[in-house]
Chain A
Amino acid sequence: MTITAYCRKTGIRFLYCCLFIFTGLVHLHARSQEKLNFTAKNVSLEHVFSFINKQTDYVVFCNYELLQQGKPVSLDLKNVSVEELLEQALQGQGLTYTIRGKTIAISRKEPVLHDQRIAVPPVVKGKVTDKVSGAAIAGVTVNVRGSQAVALTDNDGNYTIAATTDAVLVFSFVGYGKKEVAVNNQATINVALEPVSQQLDDVVITALGIKRERRAVGYSVTEVKGASLTEARETNFVNSLEGKVAGVNVSNVATGPGGSANVIIRGVSDITGSNQPLYVIDGIPMQNSTYRQTDISGGYGGADGGDGTININPDDVETISILKGAAATALYGYRGSKGVILITTKSGKTSKGIGVELNSNYVIQSVIDNTDWQKTYGQGSAGNKPVTGDDAFELGLSSWGAPLDGKQAYQFDGVQRPYSAVSGNMKRFYKNGGAATNTLSFSKNLGADGSLRFSASDLHNTSIIPNAGYQQQSFSLSTNYKLDKHLEVQLKAQYINAYTHNRPSVSDAPGSVNFATLFLPPNVNIISLAPGYKADGSENQFLDDAYTTNPYFAAYKFINNTHRNRFIGSADVRYTFDNGLYLQLRAGEDYFADRNTMVTPNGTAYQTDGAMTEENIKSTELNVDAIVGKPFKINKDFSITALVGVNSRKAVTDQLVATGNTFETPYLYTVGNLASPTEYTSNPVIVNKSVYGTMDFSFKNFLYLSATGRNDWYSTLAPGKTDYFYPSVSGSFVFSELLHIPGMDLGKLRAGYANVGGEADAPYQTLLGYNNIGNLFGFPIGNISNGGTVPNATLRPSSVKEFELGAELDFYGGRLHTDIAYYNKRESREVIPAVTSEASGYNAVLLNSGTILNKGIELLISGMPVKTKNFTWTEILNVTYNNNKVLSLSSGSSNYPLGYSRAGEDEGVGVAYMSQTLNKSAYQIYVADPARDDNGKIMVDPTTGAPVAGTDYKDIGSGIHPWTTGITSEFRYKHFNLSFLIDAKFGGKIFSGTNYYAYQFGLSKLTLPGRDVRYGTNEIYPQDYYNLISNTNPAIFVFDASFVKFRQIILGYTFPAAVFKNKIQGITLSFVARNIFTIKKHTPNIDPESNYSNGPQGIEQAQVPYTRTFGLNLNVKF
């Protein structure tokens, strides 16, 4: 069967299914909000309630027992309100309803109290209030445990119920924890119910933006409120998630403002590619390209080209829903296999009238100097000071001089200065950075018809690095409108204009602001290097190595800028038939245009004539979805919600690059001024087509099952192998509905399994192609265009299989909430460039090879130890353990090197490298191992006294932490709130290039002993001895990267509206701080979170230093 035929058949199969849904309908006519139409014969109450749930913003809650007792209704109502509909439906049922906010509670109408024929038990009265606000709560169900007796509180929160003196009253209401009180002869029982904390929201957003009851969901979903990211904020909002969510490992990428973020959900599952999750904003998959990352593979570092998430303004975010496992993300196909972060932006729905909100955030970023260098010896060699300026110039960063004596000594510029320590070069070079963010939003709730919100935001972030920073203006518009009773339209648009000014180079010394700054000898003041250039504009070299750039020259003369224009827009049309069937058509596009300008200026010591690269990148992803769905009621206990959808995705990147060196007219940095610019284009196009469906089954109110299926066609796979089907199933069992466990509000077990298949990350990998890449005296220079990777004409999709188990337990009216998850995720047949021997002519071959297993446990516990009207104390703890193991690589290979450290880099090979290794966890750090004798003892060269160089590398451990944890403490006293976050990671290692170089340069305190002795029979100098050790036994630079950090603190005060005579709804002023201090670390001279890559973790060197942030946040609501 040809693909086309198979496709067509599949398509038709689904179409039949759609038609079936069209015809098998109950006749219901519906409207939402104020005016509803409802026509139905003999339908259950549940049907009416689910109709209200679907068609309005209200959520109906009803005890299942009551529902079961309900009689079928037949109604024919036109243009009625929700209240009218309910009254009609509940007539004669013995039931009544209460509306509070957007929730409708159904309860028994007449308490048994009024039945005069029965012996009247004593009457208990009382008032139910909100424990936090003290306000009365209307509609609370008061039930005598073990009996049918039920009462409801009135509008003032008062109730009356007949109960025997030994009875136990059960108070329950939506949004509050259940409370049980023994009567014990009391005539009056006043009760304060506790609002349930946010994590216990009863509705969660799942894949495709479908809202589902939390109890029904068979996999782990964590929601984070946008509001929690806006106060103590990060330029890239993703970084503020660090330590907050179980199973989500966010780590710092130390590349300065405009750099990328690194998020790994449920472990490293991709052996070579990106492990970043899929970001979906309002239903539209977002581009999170990191097309220019720092380069761990070559060790040179370079600059971080940023990513896509940096453009998201957290002020526009309503909620973030994190779908971790494959069962949760199955509807997104392979792209969701590394987790999905669903971002729902704010709408105007919650505003009262016209809402105006201003959020202003001003923070100062100051450098954290982790270095603790020796201050005993100065610049020099073999224990001697420089004797001339030239001598100092040649000695450069060598701190192997004489003991600092405070007398005059020459420096590189020929000037004599005191030979004494001038500590604090880092604080002298790096300025205080700062970020100002102002977001102003307007919103309007149009009631039943829709809502509108518009926001404008400006972010201005100056880096701690001189002459660098990030700026962003963003505009966001969100509208939804009901055109008529069937048709609802939603339009969302965001426009972002961002400018990254001078992305800093990390790791290697050329063009780096960080390298020389770190390693200047103790007696050299960095100010003497300023301004970094001579009168003619060329670099003012301070040492005899063209490749170690003067940091001031790097900061002020190098250019590495990105201008980005981005537009993310979506249109969503939903047509709902009277019977509940809906059709939805959604199209969304994320388009950005980047212009990158990178200039190595004229006069750069290592590239005098200068060089330049100018890139224009236009990248777009278009997604079109059509979805049809409908709920079905099989009988009173059993219902099904079905959904079928199709998706078409097209991702196109259009890249035009001009690059070259030598500016014909010096200091004129244009492509046209280059002596011989080279231009090239690349145009990757990826097309996916998918058909997917989901069936949600529910039985009574305790058993839920969801099954999904997705069929994908991938353009990037081998011809004839582009079409695959993947299933998932998940379920939830709410056992607390069947067992009565004292104190337990919710007890739920869940399980899920999914199989997802995936495409190759990039197109054009199935065929060998040829092109020409230049011309030499009329000879076209041919080229195999696949680069170093052998194409593969038999590529199949990869496979991710994940099983997860979990439990959620809520106790004591939401005072204690626990969520535990276990997962087992196996990615296999990954389409990776399996590394090959270079002797094969290629570095890699694209193969379906590689298996990686992640097993882990996620635990979330939140508790409220104290809760009074004026004071609450909340603790939220999350703990994650992830066990990660590479089970197979390409055949014949047990090691997949990912890249060398630049430290000790000698002709492309460093003293350390990162690797994926068979039967080890991901990102293993290998270091050169000295020669050993038969007993494994390190062999020492008697002539030098230092270890003999070996040619083997030793595996030290993984750069990824298996344990991550965070604990948030929140205190609220009247109008004050205080929260802080302590987070920690354990078990990962890091190879420190910074410590390596400090050792070689004689800056490290470890090099202090034995400065005045000679080593070995050759009596070599300490500088040579230590230098040898650094290269022969670099394991001494691998550290345990575990840490505990005091990450964040927020202290806020909310001015009540009354202060402003209600003209302003509220003002909250907060003091905020992040990265306040490190409680525990094991990495001398560096921050343990010093990775500079958003890919492999575990190698650091001269990245942008960590910063401490503190400032103020002001939020005003008009």
Chain B
Amino acid sequence: MRCSLKHILAVAMIFIIHTSCKKDFLKTNTDPNSVSVDVFDPNNILTATQLYYTGSSDNAIEVEETEIQGAGCFIQHWASTSAYYFGDKYLFSPGGWGSFFDHAYTYQVKNAVDVYTTTIGKPQYKNLHQVARIMKALVFERITDVYGDVPYFDAGKAYHESKYFPAYDKQHDIYMDLLKEVSEAVDSLDENADKPVGDMFYASSDDQVAEWKRFGNTLLLRMAMRLTKVDPATAKTYVTKVIGKTMTSNDDNAIVRHGTNDPLTINRIYRGIGEDGGIQLSGQISKTFIDFLQSNDDPRLPVFSYIYPPDFSPGDDPSGGSAVPADQVGLPNGYDGGNTSHGIINYPGYLGNINLYSRPGPIIFNATAPTLILTYAESELLLADAAQRWGIGGDAAEHYNNGVIAAITQLSAYGDEGTISDDDAQAYLAAHPYNEAKGLELINTQYWAATFFNEYEAWSNYRRTGYPQLKPVTYPSSQSPGAIPRRMAYSTVDKQINGTNYAAAVAGLDGGDKITSRMWWDVK
């Protein structure tokens, strides 16, 4: 008995030690819910990149905060009396300024760089690699347009290159590299190579590679045109290079369609502002925008705008309200909800209830509404601008006409309810023909109308061209008194963590890290 027990215990001890040696800790420490890069299809990361370009799955909080409550109000598409909408009155809002920075890198850049890096030198992913390269440029262009000098060359490389604190690169250098990268990517796309299956923009089109070439060239056009003020020579070079190779119709529009999964696949603006089936009652359409659409008899007005029933609560059936153009009333920018001289209740003609003002209508503002990434309308209006400005790339009026029509008919992406007939579009164009004397203003005001819900782009084009002519608001404690802000200030998070590089970037910024400071391409 004693002997056998002794043996049992001794054996038990040996067993415990022995299993510790035999045990394959590597296997134990491999997550059963994931696979390694060797077996994973990088196309799925391209899908993620395209989806996250429309906003993060972190409740699309940066779309809510920086894009709609910030840029969308700067550019007077949106208005609100709520203090959350810092852009309405250019309020102090470090969180709102930086939210896009914080999310763009961790969702868009991270995935774009990953799919780009993991497909390097893999012939089976030749086109996927180039598509990723273009996506990466698309992502970075928007970030630098919002902030100016930003981490670029070392950004998104924490895993692949162990770069944890990337420096902020000069916007000039970023733009030169973006132009080079997209040019090379377009040139490297190969009709005989792979068709990236994770590509939500064009996987279902007949000629995916050709679509990507047009997309790349249109992106080059947009990037080049951004430099009209600061470096017209480079701008002209690249515009000339892509003439005839850009998008040719609304069929070329890059679109992300959305699903019902909140917050993963849902429409980001709806997630951010409407949130979970309801509409956050504090966001309205700006009086500036409604007045423009109304006074010009714009057929887009009933698609964009809606007066919800006065007792509408979030989640209710919106029917019973009005999409009738004449009923629409925009909310003036620059007012708050208090009872002071800036209080909306003291605004002459106040309707007595904030709910009586127009808000984005259910056609464009719902969970599964698509996001338009880059469109033929933008492309044509940019070409019109180039033609008007420099006389290159054809006839400004023709491009203007194409752009105006496309910007109206592209709303068919929102389904039948959003579809506006060609006749109505033509009628609108006939009523607002091109006028060379006011060419740039006409073109870029139309660009503004064409980029509702693409607020960063509308704002960037405004800063580039000064159109449409907006009346800035005044408000006590405004951070940009009497002037439309020129940029978002950097992320406070990165300021704390990446302090040295942040400080170097701010040192190069005339006027400091303020929303009034101008970035490289935004010279006066």
Contacts and interface: CB of A to CB of B under 8 A. Distances in A.
Residue among B37, B102, B164, B500 with max Cβ neighbours from chain A (10 Å):
B164
Interface in B342-391: 343, 353-354
A11 B21 contact: yes
Interface in A705-737: 713-717, 719, 722
B20 A943 contact: no
A11 B264 contact: no
A381 B338 contact: yes
A906 B69 CA distance: 11
Contacts of A11: 14, 17-18, 20-21
A1024 B102 contact: no
B449 interface: no
A782 B45 contact: yes
Interface string B124-164: 00000000000000000000000000110011111100111
Contacts of A784: 45, 110-111, 114, 159
A800 to B, nearest CB: 22
Given A779-B198, A782-B45, A719 B25 contact: yes
A662 B151 CA distance: 40
Residue among B98, B278, B354 with max Cβ neighbours from chain A (10 Å):
B278
A687 B25 contact: yes
Residue among B477, B479, B513 with max Cβ neighbours from chain A (10 Å):
B477
B291 interface: no
Interface string B259-285: 111101100000000011110110000
A858 interface: no
Interface residues of A, number: 119
B106 A628 contact: no
A714 B26 CA distance: 10
B30 A837 contact: no
Interface in B102-127: 102, 105-106, 109-111, 113-114
Contacts of A611: 276
Residue among B111, B113, B165, B203 with max Cβ neighbours from chain A (10 Å):
B165
Interface string B164-205: 111000000000000000000000000000000010100100
Contacts of B339: 381-382, 384, 1021
A769 B36 contact: yes
Contacts of B48: 781-783
Contact of B13 (A577, A646, A953, A1016): A646
Nearest to A784: B114
Given A18-B10, A394-B337, A583-B6, A662 B29 contact: no
B516 interface: no
B17 A14 contact: yes
Contacts of A575: 2, 5-6, 9
Given A779-B200, A842-B106, A683 B33 contact: yes
B477 A839 contact: no
B109 A841 contact: yes
B200 A777 contact: yes
A779 B424 CA distance: 36
Nearest to A382: B339
A764 B496 CA distance: 29
Contacts of A770: 34-37, 40, 44-45
A989 B260 CA distance: 45
A909 B98 contact: yes
Contacts of B13: 15, 18, 626, 628, 646
Given A678-B261, A907-B95, A691 B158 contact: no
A821 B41 CA distance: 59
B338 A1021 contact: yes
Given A781-B265, A1020-B340, A608 B276 contact: yes
Interface in B65-111: 65-66, 69, 84, 86, 92-99, 101-102, 105-106, 109-111
B499 interface: yes
Interface string A895-909: 101000000011111
Interface string A665-686: 0000000000110100111011
A555 B501 CA distance: 48
Contact of B200 (A776, A835, A845, A909): A776
A324 to B, nearest CB: 29
Contact of B16 (A647, A771, A895): A647
A347 interface: no
B105 A839 contact: yes
A1024 B338 contact: yes
A683 B32 contact: yes
B497 interface: yes
B315 interface: yes
A99 interface: no
Nearest to B160: A841
A607 B35 CA distance: 36
A946 to B, nearest CB: 8
Interface string A593-622: 000000000000111110100000000000
Contacts of B260: 675-676
A1024 B339 CA distance: 10
B433 interface: no
Interface in B430-483: 476-477, 479
B5 A1021 contact: no
B197 to A, nearest CB: 8
A1006 B491 CA distance: 32
A1103 B66 CA distance: 30
B83 to A, nearest CB: 8
A838 B259 contact: no
Given A681-B33, A785-B34, A906-B94, A487 B106 contact: no
B234 interface: no
Given A546-B281, A836-B158, A951-B94, A8 B21 contact: yes
Nearest to A722: B25
A781 B159 contact: no
Given A382-B339, A605-B314, A782 B493 contact: no
Contacts of B37: 768, 770
A840 interface: yes
Contacts of A772: 44
Interface string A753-785: 000000000011011111111101101111111
Interface string A469-501: 000000000000000001100000000000000
Contacts of B47: 776, 779-782
B500 to A, nearest CB: 7
Interface stretch (A204-212, A564-572, A886-894): A886-894
Residue among B26, B37, B84, B158 with max Cβ neighbours from chain A (10 Å):
B158
A841 B5 contact: no
B166 A840 contact: yes
A785 B157 CA distance: 16
Contacts of B65: 907-908
A42 interface: no
Contacts of A949: 92, 477, 479
A72 interface: no
B340 A689 contact: no
A696 to B, nearest CB: 21
Contacts of B33: 681-683, 769, 771, 785
A380 to B, nearest CB: 8
Given A575-B6, A771-B33, A892-B165, A839 B20 contact: no
A910 B198 CA distance: 38
Contact of B102 (A719, A834, A908, A1020): A908
29 contacts: A8-B18, A15-B13, A382-B343, A486-B2, A538-B313, A575-B2, A605-B314, A662-B276, A676-B261, A687-B25, A691-B17, A713-B20, A715-B29, A722-B25, A764-B34, A769-B31, A784-B110, A837-B165, A838-B497, A839-B166, A840-B154, A840-B155, A840-B158, A907-B69, A909-B95, A943-B476, A949-B92, A953-B496, A1020-B476
Given A785-B33, A845-B158, 5 more contacts: A381-B339, A546-B281, A781-B265, A839-B156, A908-B65
Q: 5 shortest A-B CB distances, which residue pairs? A: A608-B315, A782-B44, A689-B20, A769-B34, A909-B95
